Amino acid sequence: MSTAIKVENLSKAFWSGNVRIQALDGVGLQVEEGEIFGLLGPNGAGKTTLISILCGLTTRDSGRAEIFGMDVERDLPKVQEVINVVSGFSGVIHAITLEEMLRYYAMLYSIPEPEERIDEVLALVELEDRRAEWVSLFSAGLRQRFFLAKALLNRPRVLFLDEPTVGLDVGMAVKIREMIKRLGREGYTILLTTHNMFEAEALCGRIALIHKGRIRVVGTLREIKGAIREEKVIEISTDGGAELCEKLQTLEGVISCARDGGNVRVVVDDYGRMKNLMALLAKDGPRVYSIRLVEPTLEEVFLELTGEDHGRR
Ligand SMILES: Nc1ncnc2c1ncn2[C@@H]1O[C@H](COP(=O)(O)OP(=O)(O)OP(=O)(O)O)[C@@H](O)[C@H]1O
Ligand SMILES: [Mg+2]
């Protein structure tokens, strides 16, 4: 398994009139081949800027940005062969059919056997029966599937998806997510941005939170959630009383146990202690209605790390 995306100390500032905006401020990031990696952050955090630099659409001020070891500026033609991008905000040309659009892109990408590949990508995004229709008249969902088809034409090893489900209804968003999942299983490396925490949880193995041009935290969901809350709490909804608490407290790894309404809150040193808890509950026989790990939601993590900032962006 090799490293697909490597970013080191990457910085980029824009000028807006006389105002300098530091869009990226020393970003470091590494995405391994085959990962679906989520990039989350508030509006203006720098997500699209990072993707634009990695795709060779924007130049950087300083730092490193590589795709499979190739520098995204110096080796751009080679990089372009192995990447593609879907942005939630792309436009389409009027009065051109889906098939014609894909032929046009296939030509730009110098795809060998374009007709064959067009059939394949249309099947992948389930648009085979729409090929003769104008893309400009497509609904947002169909349009997004067209952009995905376009982005798959060159069999990219790295796919950048900038807010792939923005503006879509629930059903269509689910469909797009299923497609992304399938691409992940097929081995595509995917860097995805989203404002939808549920989407990030559902799709991404690892996630980075970016805020004001800096990566604040990177890791699996579990790691990220652990990063803001040391305490590991198991909440048991039960009719067991003080006696149960006493017993639970004798278990290894249980730090404290307290009743809280109809719940028993058990603080443990590791969620792996769950097994012993379950064994005790099974043996001792109080009624148990539910057991859950009380973890912060990704949303809570996000708010805690990006803080009270509602400044200009
Ligand atoms: N071409 C540009 N000229 C001037 N400023 C820009 C340009 N592109 C981006 N910026 C600024 O850089 C900062 C980062 O923007 P960017 O689009 O990367 O954020 P983002 O994380 O993608 O936000 P969103 O979630 O809203 O898409 C913002 O303050 C934005 O206004
Ligand atoms: Mg953006």
Mean pLDDT confidence for 172-198: 94
Per DSSP bridges, beta strands 206-211 and 214-220 are antiparallel
Q: Whose CA is nearest to atom 25 of ligand 1?
A: 43
- Model confidence over 235-246: pLDDT tens digits? 889 887 788 888
Mean pLDDT confidence for 103-123: 96
Reported as a pLDDT band with limits 50, 70 and 90, residue 310 is very low
What is the CATH number assigned to the segment(s) 230-294?
3.30.70.100
Nearest in space to 237 (alpha carbons), one of 183, 294, 276: 294
Which helix or strand (DSSP H or E) is residue 292 part of? strand 288-294
Q: Whose CA is nearest to atom 18 of ligand 1?
A: 46
Q: Whose CA is nearest to atom 19 of ligand 1?
A: 44
Residue 218 in this model has a pLDDT that exceeds 60: yes
Q: Is the CB of 290 under 6 A from ligand 1?
A: no
Q: What is the pLDDT of residue 298?
A: 78
- Model confidence over 127-161: pLDDT tens digits? 999 999 999 999 989 999 999 999 999 999 999 99
**What single-letter DSSP state applies at residue 97?**
B
Nearest in space to 239 (alpha carbons), one of 292, 288, 290, 278: 288
Q: Whose CA is nearest to atom 9 of ligand 1?
A: 49
Q: What is the pLDDT of residue 89?
A: 66
CA of 54 to the centre of ligand 1 (A): 15
Q: Distance between CA 273 and CA 153 in Å, rounded?
A: 48
Mean pLDDT confidence for 58-71: 98
Fold (topology level) of 3-226: Rossmann fold (3.40.50)
Q: What is the pLDDT of residue 39?
A: 96
Q: What is the pLDDT of residue 312?
A: 44
Q: pTM of the entire structure?
A: 0.84
Q: What is the pLDDT of residue 309?
A: 52
Q: Is the CB of 45 under 6 A from ligand 1?
A: yes
In contact, 177 and 165? CB cutoff 8 Å: yes
Question: Which ligand places an atom closest to the C-alpha of 87?
Answer: 2
Instruction: Tell me the pLDDT of the chain averaged across its residues.
Output: 90
* Domain residue ranges in the chain: 3-226, 230-294
Question: Which ligand places an atom closest to the C-alpha of 52?
Answer: 1
Mean pLDDT confidence for 192-196: 93
Q: What is the pLDDT of residue 293?
A: 83
Residue 196 in this model has a pLDDT that exceeds 60: yes
Reported as a pLDDT band with limits 50, 70 and 90, residue 305 is confident
CA of 295 to the centre of ligand 1 (A): 32
Q: Is the CB of 39 under 6 A from ligand 1?
A: no
Mean pLDDT confidence for 53-71: 97
Q: Whose CA is nearest to atom 24 of ligand 1?
A: 43
The residue assigned the tokens 């404290």 is: 256
Q: Which atom of ligand 1 is nearest to the CA of 50?
A: 18
